[in-house]
């Protein structure tokens, strides 16, 4: 639960200041050898990364918009909190969006966390956070309360229920517009009550490519941690501390995002991106209990390198989404 020491919120289950991360050291594989060895090297590269345990996977050269490798790319699967990436895209793609707009935290958002059991940014009733701050709260500690606040703010209707339903409709329209033909949303955060919240590895690669085109989203998802101050309900200032649940950040050299997800039906999932030497590679893993080691294998294969990694450890009690 939250530890509120005065007006600071340090919810070690969802929002904390991470300890200093040990950074990965990239060790490039030896440069190309003599000409006769080149054909063999190309053959190995074409085979794809080995030992990937994910049910669905996709690797995209984002810079060239070219598929590098995939595994079960078009099978529909649950995605858990990766859903929140589309929530963020819908908000940021809203015409004339005001990132500085203040949103008052409602009791309904807190009640939703208690009844759903979702991960939380530990928002406090009556506090006023900006849209941009809510994006941090949704995408770093994977706050379902922050996701609901955004859906309630950017949906239309006379009640919170109608506004959030309206927002989910916008999410489905956005997916269709992006060519995500095998994706469907029935929630704003990935907590699906009817199992009608699904996607494919290929569709998520399309989503990530679009999302990374937004400068604000790039800034948010590459943040290892953040400290955000907001007017509190009592008239004072509350400080929110949030740590990113994505362990690639601060561990794998060049990591710039994007979003994790974990659920009973979905298993462990991640959409990730790494930029090295001006080239960005995007990866997707769905239903993968070894998502971080597998992400490393995929990235090392894509960049033709061997990277030594010391995985960043999240603070005790922090969300492992």
Residues noted as catalytic: 81, 84, 142
| Cα(35)–Cα(37) distance, integer angstroms | 5
- Contacts of residues 176-184 at CB distance under 8 Å and 24 or more positions apart, as own/partner, are 178/206, 178/207, 178/210, 179/203, 179/206, 180/206, 180/207, 182/74, 182/76, 183/207
* Greatest CA separation for the chain: 73
Q: How many residues does the chain have?
A: 321
| Cα(143)–Cα(124) distance, integer angstroms | 12
Is the CB of residue 157 less than 8 Å from the CB of residue 135?
no
Alpha-carbon distance values, 248 to 121, 310, 313 (Å): 20, 10, 10
* DSSP states along 131-158: HHHHHHHHHSS--HHHHHHHHHHHS-SS
Backbone φ/ψ region at 203: left (φ over 0), alpha (ψ -120 to 50), beta: alpha
């Amino acid at each position: 639960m939250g530890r509120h020491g005065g007006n600071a919120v340090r919810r070690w289950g969802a929002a904390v200041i991470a300890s200093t991360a040990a950074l990965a050291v990239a060790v490039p594989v030896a440069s190309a050898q003599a000409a006769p060895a080149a054909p063999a090297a190309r053959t190995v590269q074409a085979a794809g990364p080995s030992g990937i345990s994910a049910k669905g996977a996709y690797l995209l050269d984002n810079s060239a918009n070219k598929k590098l490798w995939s595994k079960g790319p078009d099978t529909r699967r649950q995605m858990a909190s990766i859903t929140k990436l589309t929530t963020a895209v819908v908000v940021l793609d809203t015409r004339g969006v005001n990132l500085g707009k203040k949103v008052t935290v409602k009791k309904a958002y807190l009640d939703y966390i208690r009844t759903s059991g979702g991960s939380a940014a530990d928002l406090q009733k009556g506090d006023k956070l900006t849209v941009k701050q809510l994006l941090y709260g949704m995408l770093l500690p994977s706050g379902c309360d922050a996701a609901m606040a955004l859906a309630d703010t950017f949906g239309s209707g006379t009640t919170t229920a109608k506004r959030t339903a309206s927002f989910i409709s916008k999410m489905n329209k956005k997916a269709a517009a992006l060519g995500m033909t095998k994706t469907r949303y029935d929630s704003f955060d990935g907590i699906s009550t009817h199992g009608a919240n699904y996607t494919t590895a290929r569709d998520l690669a399309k989503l990530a490519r679009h999302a990374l085109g937004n400068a604000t989203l790039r800034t948010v998802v590459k943040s290892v941690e953040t400290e955000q101050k907001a007017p509190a309900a009592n008239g004072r200032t509350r400080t929110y501390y949030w740590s990113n649940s994505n362990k690639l950040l601060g561990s794998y050299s060049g990591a710039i995002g994007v979003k994790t997800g974990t659920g009973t039906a979905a298993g462990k999932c991640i959409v990730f991106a790494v930029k090295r030497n001006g080239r960005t590679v995007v990866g997707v893993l769905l239903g993968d209990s070894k998502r971080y080691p597998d992400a490393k294998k995929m990235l090392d294969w894509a960049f033709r390198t061997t990277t030594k990694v010391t995985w960043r450890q999240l603070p005790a009690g922090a969300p492992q989404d």
